[in-house]
Amino acid sequence: MFDEDKGLYTIGTVAELIVEHPETLRVWERNDLIRPDRTGYQRKYSGNDVRRLKFIKYLMDNKGLNIAGVKHLTSMYSCWYKRNCNGGAHRNSPVPVNESKACWKTEGTYCYVASDKAEMCNSCDMLRNCNFHLKEEQGNSKEGSTVSEACNNCSVSGTCTTENEASELEISPTKETK
């Protein structure tokens, strides 16, 4: 079976496929919009990388976003860098979808609505880099706290703002509103 996450295409091939200059792809990589595999000094783009690049191009060309806007928007996709993302579903499908969030992987579909917040949190890059969660793994966090509780403390930027850290930074912790 074909692995959609295996880096197969060179930068020149991908640039031709999406009609962009190779340097543009390098700029997008430097800004952490895309993370192609590397073999030595050579970039290898996967099928999913090409889909991500097409989505980035769509956001810039059709929606008028700049690099910062694209970076902010893609940070809201829990599966942006996730391997083996299942893609989305169509608007009238039996599974719940977020109709305000187009799927980057499959054109014309929308992202699934997570049935369980912990499901999203466990695949989140912010979770892995969050000081609150690192302390939790080491046994230093508040007793009884859960992953989903802890993720309510993380902002979109990936900077953990638990109550202790927030008081040090003189900011209020980010909390989910209901």
The pLDDT assigned to 67 comes to 97
Question: Half-sphere exposure of 8 toward its Cβ, with a 13 Å CA cutoff?
Answer: 9
63 inside domain: yes
Specify if 176 maps to a domain: no
Stretch (H or E) spanning 112: strand 110-112
Residue 177 lies in a domain: no
Q: Is residue 175 part of a domain?
A: no
| Length reported for the chain | 178
Please determine, for residue 144, whether its predicted confidence score (pLDDT) is greater than 70.
no
Residue where a domain terminates, one of 75, 94, 127:
75
Record the pTM.
0.65
CATH number at residue 49: 1.10.1660.10
Decide if pLDDT at 86 tops 80: yes
The total domain count for the chain is: 3
- pLDDT above 50: residue 148: no
Higher-pLDDT residue of 118, 79: 79
Answer yes or no: do 34 and 56 share one domain: yes
Residue 36 has pLDDT above 50, yes or no: yes
What is the tally of helices (H) and strands (E) in the chain?
A: 9, 4
Q: Is residue 174 part of a domain?
A: no
> Is the pLDDT higher at 121 or at 92?
92
Residues 7 and 55 reside in one and the same domain:
yes
Q: Are 16 and 53 in contact (CB under 8 A)?
A: no
In which band, very low, low, confident or very high, does the pLDDT at 127 lie, cut at 50, 70 and 90?
low
- Provide the β-strand partners of residue 9: 45
- Of 141, 166, 142, 140, which Cα lies nearest the Cα of 153? 166
Question: Do 94 and 158 fall into the same domain?
Answer: no
Distance from C-alpha of 33 to C-alpha of 35, rounded to nearest angstrom: 7
